[in-house]
Amino acid sequence: MMYKKFIYSVLGLCFIAAGIKAQSPMGLYYMETIPQVNHLNPAMQPRANGFFALPNFNQLFQSDVAFSDVFQDVGSEWVSPLSQRYDFAKLYKATGDAFNINEQVDIGLLGFGFRSGRDYFSFSLSVKGAVNVGLPYDLLKIAENGFADGSKFDFSTLRTKTMTYKEISLGYSREWNDYLTVGVNVKPLFGLVGMLSDINRFELHTSRQQYDLFVDGRIYSSAPIDVVEGEAGDFPESIEAKDMEGDDWASYLTSFKNPGIALDMGAVYELNDRWAFSAALNNLGFIKWTEDLNSLSFNGTYSFKGLEIDGSNKDDMDKAVEAIGDSLKSVIDYGVGQEKFSMPLVPGLYMGASYNLNHALSFGFLSRSQFQKNNYRQDFNLSANIQPYSFVALNVNYSLRVNGGNGLGTGLSLLMGPLQMYLLADYMPLQYATVNMEGDEFLMFPNQKELSLKFGLNFIFGRHGHRNEPSLSL
């Protein structure tokens, strides 16, 4: 059928994206030997008296669906949404009206921090990027019913939010007394590239006589592109990248345009030598896009009554498809502008409890909640933190996401003199599936909904800090 390739393209998009996707791994939360611990909770003071951060990399991928949600195991055989044995109710339970794909990348360029009495000061500079895509469930409903007479497909939940920005983080924490430590990260933001969709209506109604497409929405962007406006109400004549030389790019990337602000707030309460409780609320902020603006609004109805062509003539088919595109450009009412817009960050709430068995071994519990429009996520994490010697620290953890996946994670920190190397990962892929359906060979896919990875280098000074205490009595 005509829609078979279309459905496989949609499914392929999901898993191509899965291969590439920033909240830091949850295993970092209790690894105080790594100075970047204050990125998750600004009240967490690193153990070292001082540090200098070299470049580090952090990547996060999240999806509402895993391989086993889209391709179902029926009688020891994987079936796709094109199969009559496929249970669409199970897929809808996993996705709802839309399934979301998030990818975040964080490149830390430099940073430093130091202790002064009960106070800890830190600074970092990083470049961050995020892509949030919401794909309508009705895209896959086409496979269930096809374009049957009287069908209605609602694609209004289609959503995309993309931004790349620079972040300066100014951190401060203080041990107010022997029990309570509080901290804050103040983060000025400067946007580089941003795009946001705002769709009010996107529907397709089908009948024997014709297909009707209804659209109403707007797309905002801030990027080095030129939009050449055509006749009023028509689609723009062209959308092209600006012709920029090396100096132009250097000026663009180092500018302080598109300002924003974000805050992290946290607290740690040490009940006694064994028990500690903590909480942090991160990424409360937004970016206001004010430069290199372009906006495109669209509103209207398009009716398609079929094609009268000779199916054996490829040129006729190409001309017919081109005619449909030209009709969409002329029938839909378009508007081009330069409107300012704002984009919020994705806030995260961390709540944790830890138990120190002795100087070298502790256990932790962590809850992470992420808040995004039509996309709430809740994770729980159990961890064991081991530091047998001052030059090595190890974290082993297990994560569970509500209505999601689960998996093992780990973290490792090694000191070679003052140079520290660290590597952390959550939701590591442990299960894979290779599928052959109807003669089409599929690659090996990880059966998971999330993957988080972080690694980097630091120079550590005074690694014992003021917490070089003897083992607790058992």
The confidence score (pLDDT) of residue 75 equals 67
Handedness of CA 358, 360, 361, 367 (dihedral sign): positive
pLDDT digits (tens, 9 = 90+) for 322-364: 555 555 555 677 788 888 999 888 899 999 999 999 888 999 9
Average pLDDT of span 2-22: 39
**Distance (Å, rounded) from C-alpha 71 to C-alpha 94?**
12
The confidence score (pLDDT) of residue 404 equals 67
- Model confidence at 317: pLDDT above 70: no
Q: What is this structure's pTM? A: 0.79
List alpha helices for 97-192, DSSP H: 138-145
The confidence score (pLDDT) of residue 346 equals 83
The confidence score (pLDDT) of residue 239 equals 77
- Model confidence at 8: pLDDT above 50: no
Whether residue 468 is contained in a domain is answered as no
Structure token digits, residue 413? 């920190």
Whether residue 470 is contained in a domain is answered as no
User: In sequence order, which residues have a C-beta less than 8 Å from that of residue 460 and are 6 or more positions away?
Assistant: 35, 48, 50, 51, 415, 418, 419, 420
The confidence score (pLDDT) of residue 326 equals 57
Mean pLDDT score of the chain, rounded to an integer? 79
**Distance (Å, rounded) from C-alpha 377 to C-alpha 348?**
9
Residue with tokens 């430099």: 110
The alpha carbon of residue 416 and the mean position of all alpha carbons in its chain are separated, in whole angstroms, by: 33
Average pLDDT of span 195-199: 88
Of the chain, the percentage scoring pLDDT greater than 90 comes to 34
Q: Which domain holds residue 254?
A: 3-461
Whether residue 10 is contained in a domain is answered as yes
Which one is predicted more confidently, 344 or 157?
344
- Model confidence at 4: pLDDT above 50: no
Structure token digits, residue 342? 């704002």
**At 182, which helix (H) or strand (E)?**
strand 180-206
Whether residue 35 is contained in a domain is answered as yes
> CB–CB of 106/95 below 8 Å?
no
User: In sequence order, which residues have a C-beta less than 8 Å from that of residue 122 and are 6 or more positions away?
Assistant: 35, 38, 111, 112, 113, 169, 170, 171, 172, 185
Q: How many domains does the chain have?
A: 1
Structure token digits, residue 46? 């690193």
**Distance (Å, rounded) from C-alpha 22 to C-alpha 453?**
9
The confidence score (pLDDT) of residue 311 equals 46
- Model confidence at 463: pLDDT above 70: yes
Q: Which of 134, 145, 15 is nearest to 70 (CA)?
A: 15
Q: Which of 9, 14, 8, 7 is nearest to 445 (CA)?
A: 14
For the ranges 196-210, 356-370, 403-417, the lowest mean pLDDT is seen at: 196-210
For the ranges 101-105, 276-280, 416-420, 457-461, the lowest mean pLDDT is seen at: 101-105
Highest average pLDDT, of 62-76, 92-106, 264-278, comes from: 264-278
The neighbouring-strand residues paired with 380 are: 367, 400
The confidence score (pLDDT) of residue 2 equals 40
Whether residue 473 is contained in a domain is answered as no
Q: How far is CA 114 from CA 54, 122, 197, 229, 335, in A?
A: 15, 7, 42, 54, 53
Residue 413: pLDDT band by 50, 70, 90 thresholds? very high
For the ranges 100-114, 223-237, 424-438, the lowest mean pLDDT is seen at: 424-438
Whether residue 57 is contained in a domain is answered as yes
User: What φ, ψ does residue 26 adopt, rounded to 5°?
Assistant: -65, -25
Highest average pLDDT, of 38-52, 206-220, 308-322, comes from: 38-52
The confidence score (pLDDT) of residue 147 equals 66
SS3 for 320? helix
Structure token digits, residue 358? 């002795």
Residue 18: pLDDT band by 50, 70, 90 thresholds? very low
Average pLDDT of span 376-399: 89
The confidence score (pLDDT) of residue 328 equals 58
Whether residue 474 is contained in a domain is answered as no
Question: What CATH number does residue 390 fall under?
Answer: 2.40.160
User: What φ, ψ does residue 235 adopt, rounded to 5°?
Assistant: -65, 145
The confidence score (pLDDT) of residue 432 equals 65
- Model confidence at 302: pLDDT above 90: no
- Model confidence at 10: pLDDT above 50: no
Residue 137: pLDDT band by 50, 70, 90 thresholds? confident
Secondary-structure percent of the chain, ordered helix, strand, coil, rounded to 5: 15, 55, 30
Which one is predicted more confidently, 306 or 290?
290
- Model confidence at 468: pLDDT above 60: no
> How wide is the angle at C-alpha 381 spanned by C-alphas 375 and 384, nearest 5°?
160
**Distance (Å, rounded) from C-alpha 445 to C-alpha 426?**
17
The confidence score (pLDDT) of residue 253 equals 79
Residue 442: pLDDT band by 50, 70, 90 thresholds? low
Q: Please, what is the end-to-end C-alpha distance for the chain in angstroms? A: 69
Whether residue 349 is contained in a domain is answered as yes
**Distance (Å, rounded) from C-alpha 87 to C-alpha 393?**
46
* Eight-state DSSP code of residue 233: B
The confidence score (pLDDT) of residue 350 equals 96
